[in-house]
């Protein structure tokens, strides 16, 4: 009986001991998981296959473990002293790397990005800026001018300034650049808008859209902030850039003597520009001295200038020379059109206005097509033709989306008129 009791006591002690051990194990504090530094260099470098890619250069050898026996337990160390270079995980940490990469070598042009936007466009333009910065400007740090018919609010300025790697400038457009000129007949303009609304013409009933088109046609390049620059690159909200941009497009323009450039071209909606060509012909008659000797009339007209074929460069993307837009030929052209009133009596867009000007006032060789700049603005894509180009530029566009050689694009015509050779593979991208 005594032996039996002792056995029970032993069982109780073992049970209490087991519970105590379980309690201590389950309540003990974990050590924080240390983040290994300098691990996995080789495994993250998946960019195999291209010998000239700097990321494929051999990595610095990792410090050898003390013995092969404890290789599994000794963490690999990077060259350098961890104490001197503490791992920076947040912007508040000392050593936080602001720049990430070095600036691109070479000169900078006197150039700026320019965006016309409303305060409500802030998140859509934020997307565009991020694309431009990631693909290009983080290494070039060009300025960015923002223009608005109303004052920009603090949120717009804060968000965009945080995203742009160059300086940002914010301008409010003067009223005379964003209103009806006094010679416009308001009743006539109103009737046009009502009629276009009934016919469901896109933006046909919008007053602000017309102010926007007139402003982009005749005034953005002479805003006080823009007077500081020679070249501009227009960026709209919600665009995409699909490839790295390895060279400076502003330099291409400057060193190649280019005045205007494009990535997409197409036919304009004829109902919105019914009398634009009549006004253009009037201008050509009044100012023959402004027409360039080797102009690109063949891009604009199939009958030697009698009628307009509606081809235009899509102006939501443009890299151009501001001094050309500020020149007498261009200003005379804009003022002649503006007097005729088609910005309000029809719905002339800045794209056909810029394009007709480029086609008539410039020599063909002044207009540049940037095949390398892959671009999307709803609903069209320019994806560079040629697999070699797309791989070299690390593009993520689908080549079958490329609009360049489809039936509704005018880019093939541009190549024919200017005598340029189309990029290899263009035929397989037709409709
Ligand atoms: N400040 C200001 N900017 C405007 C106004 N209307 C348009 N914009 C800007 O002008 C540019 C062209 O306008 P969008 O509305 O994009 O015109 P769109 O490209 O023809 O048409 P979407 O297909 O809608 O993009 C954009 O950068 C707009 O942010 C306006 O009333 N005020
Ligand atoms: Mg747009």
- The pLDDT tens digits of the residues spanning 241-258 come to 999 998 999 999 999 999
Tell me the best of 123, 127, 171, 236 to mutate to test the pocket of ligand 1, counting ligand atoms within 8 Å of each CB and taking the most.
Answer: 236
Please state, rounded to an integer, the average pLDDT across all residues of the chain.
85
Q: Is the pLDDT of residue 317 over 90?
A: yes
The continuous run of DSSP H or E covering 16 comes out as helix 2-27
- The pLDDT of residue 246: 87
CB of 268 shorter than 6 A to ligand 1:
no
In a domain, 350, yes or no: yes
Is residue 226 exposed (0-12), middle (13-18) or buried (19+ Cβ within 10 Å)?
Answer: buried
- The pLDDT of residue 396: 97
Ligand nearest to the CA of residue 347, numbered in listed order? 1
In a domain, 182, yes or no: yes
Q: What is the pLDDT of residues 158-171, one digit of tens each?
A: 999 999 999 999 99
Mean pLDDT comparison of 31-45, 89-103, 379-393, highest-scoring range? 379-393
Longest dimension (CA), the chain: 129
- Please compute the mean of the pLDDT values over residues 86-100 and round it to a whole number: 66
Alpha-carbon Rg for the chain, nearest whole angstrom, is: 31
Tell me the best of 132, 174, 272, 316 to mutate to test the pocket of ligand 1, counting ligand atoms within 8 Å of each CB and taking the most.
Answer: 316
CB of 121 shorter than 6 A to ligand 1:
yes
Q: Pick the range with the lowest mean pLDDT from 29-43, 106-120, 241-255, 329-343.
A: 29-43
- Domains in the chain: how many in total? 1
Which residues have C-beta within 8 Å of that of residue 397, sequence separation ≥ 6? 242, 243, 374, 376, 381, 383, 384, 390
- 73 pLDDT band, cuts 50/70/90, is very low
Q: Is the pLDDT of residue 35 over 60?
A: no
- 431 pLDDT band, cuts 50/70/90, is confident
Domain that holds residue 337: 100-428
Active-site choice (133, 268, 318, 346): 318
Residue nearest (by alpha carbon) to ligand 1 atom 25: 378
Instruction: Quote the ligand 2 centre to 316 CA distance (angstroms).
Output: 6
CB of 148 shorter than 6 A to ligand 1:
yes
- The pLDDT of residue 361: 98
Please identify which residue in the block is written with the tokens 């050509």: 284
In a domain, 285, yes or no: yes
DSSP 409: B
CATH number at residue 269: 3.90.550.10
Spatial distance between the Cα atoms of 148 and 36, rounded to a whole number of angstroms: 49
Give me the phi and psi of 367, to 5 degrees please. Answer: -105, 130
- Please compute the mean of the pLDDT values over residues 38-53 and round it to a whole number: 29
Report helix, strand or coil for 74: coil
Q: Is the pLDDT of residue 91 over 80?
A: no
- The pLDDT of residue 90: 64
- The pLDDT of residue 78: 43
- 19 pLDDT band, cuts 50/70/90, is low
- Please compute the mean of the pLDDT values over residues 177-193 and round it to a whole number: 98
In a domain, 16, yes or no: no
Q: Is the pLDDT of residue 319 over 90?
A: yes
Q: Any alpha helices (H) in 269-321, and if so which ranges?
A: 276-286, 297-300
- The pLDDT of residue 40: 27
What is the reported pTM? 0.81
Residue 318 annotated in active site: yes
Residue nearest (by alpha carbon) to ligand 1 atom 15: 209
**Residue 181 structure tokens:** 């000129």
Residues 69, 30 contacting (CB under 8 angstroms): no
Question: 202 vs 67, which has greater pLDDT?
Answer: 202
């Amino acid at each position: 009986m005594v032996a039996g009791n002792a056995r029970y006591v032993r069982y109780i002690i073992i049970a209490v001991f087991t519970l105590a051990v379980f309690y201590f194990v389950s309540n003990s504090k974990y050590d924080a998981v240390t983040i290994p530094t300098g691990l996995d260099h080789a495994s993250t470098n998946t960019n195999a296959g291209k010998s000239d890619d700097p990321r494929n250069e051999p990595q610095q050898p990792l410090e050898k473990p003390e013995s092969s026996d404890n290789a599994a337990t000794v963490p690999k160390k990077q060259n350098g002293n961890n104490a001197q270079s503490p791992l920076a995980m947040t912007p508040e940490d000392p050593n936080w790397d602001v720049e990430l990469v070095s600036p691109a070598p070479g000169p900078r042009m006197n150039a700026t990005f320019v965006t016309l936007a409303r305060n409500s466009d802030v998140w859509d333009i934020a997307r565009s800026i991020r694309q431009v910065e990631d693909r290009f400007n983080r290494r070039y740090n060009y300025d960015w001018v923002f223009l608005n018919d109303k004052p920009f609010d603090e949120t717009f300025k804060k968000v965009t300034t945080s995203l742009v790697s160059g300086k940002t400038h914010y301008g409010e457009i003067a009223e005379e650049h964003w209103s009806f000129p006094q010679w416009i007949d308001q009743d006539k303009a109103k009737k046009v808008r009502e009629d276009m609304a009934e016919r469901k013409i896109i933006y046909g009933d919008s007053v602000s859209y017309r102010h926007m088109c007139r402003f982009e046609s005749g005034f953005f390049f002479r805003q006080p902030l823009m007077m500081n620059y020679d070249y501009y690159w227009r960026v709209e909200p919600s665009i995409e850039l699909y490839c790295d941009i390895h060279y400076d497009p502003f330099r291409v323009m400057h060193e190649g003597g280019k005045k205007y450039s494009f990535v997409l071209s197409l036919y304009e909606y004829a109902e919105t520009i019914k009398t634009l060509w009549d006004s253009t012909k009037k201008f050509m008659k009044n100012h023959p001295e402004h027409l360039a000797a080797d102009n690109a009339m063949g891009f604009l007209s199939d009958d030697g200038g009698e009628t307009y074929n509606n081809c235009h460069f899509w102006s939501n993307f443009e890299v151009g020379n501001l001094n050309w837009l500020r020149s007498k030929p261009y200003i005379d052209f804009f003022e002649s059109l503006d007097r005729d009133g088609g910005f309000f009596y029809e719905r002339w867009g800045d794209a056909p206005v810029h394009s007709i000007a480029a086609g008539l006032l410039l020599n063909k060789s002044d207009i540049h097509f940037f095949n390398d700049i892959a671009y999307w603005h709803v609903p069209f894509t320019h994806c560079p033709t040629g697999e070699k180009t797309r791989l070299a530029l690390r593009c993520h566009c689908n080549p079958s989306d490329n609009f360049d050689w489809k039936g509704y694009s005018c880019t093939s015509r541009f190549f024919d008129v200017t005598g340029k050779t189309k990029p290899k593979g263009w035929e397989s991208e037709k409709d």
